[in-house]
Amino acid sequence: MLGKQLLERLRRRGQAAELPPELAESTRLLGQHCERLLADPVLRLCFELLEEDFTVGFKGTTLGDREGREAWYRMLAALQELDAKLRAMLGDARRLEAEQRIATAAAEGRSRGEAA
């Protein structure tokens, strides 16, 4: 199953905790779920507001406040990493679906060739 392959790929990369079984079983559902999250206007607004808050907080620290600057930077980096992981999961799901379509079409082509 493509969903299981994706889950294993994400686990190897350290990109996924346990997914709900229905998502682990269907690459299409996993991709749709990621796409919905990335397109959700409330989530996008939250990302934008948090990024702005973290950037302002970072810029508001003094050069001597190394711990404060580091804390703001880590929060900003974590937010950006979350966005990147969602996009990577969506891309993986789309790529695996495309690979499956190609494999299915090739198998159908071979079957037609054998039947002829």
What ranges do the domains of the chain cover? 2-115
- C-alpha angle 69/74/68, rounded to 5°? 20
Backbone angles phi, psi at 64, to 5 degrees: -80, -15
The verdict on pTM exceeding 0.85 is no
Backbone angles phi, psi at 7, to 5 degrees: -60, -45
Higher-pLDDT residue of 12, 57: 57
R_g (Cα) of the chain, nearest Å: 20
Rounded CA-CA distance 40/34 in Å is 10
Instruction: Give the tens place of pLDDT for each residue, 81-99.
Output: 999 888 888 888 888 788 8
With tokens 């690459």, the residue in question is 27
Among candidate residues 77, 86, 72, 90, the one with its CA nearest the CA of residue 31: 90
DSSP-derived letter for residue 20 is: P
Q: Per-residue pLDDT averaged across 11-28, rounded?
A: 65
Q: Is the pLDDT of residue 64 over 70?
A: yes
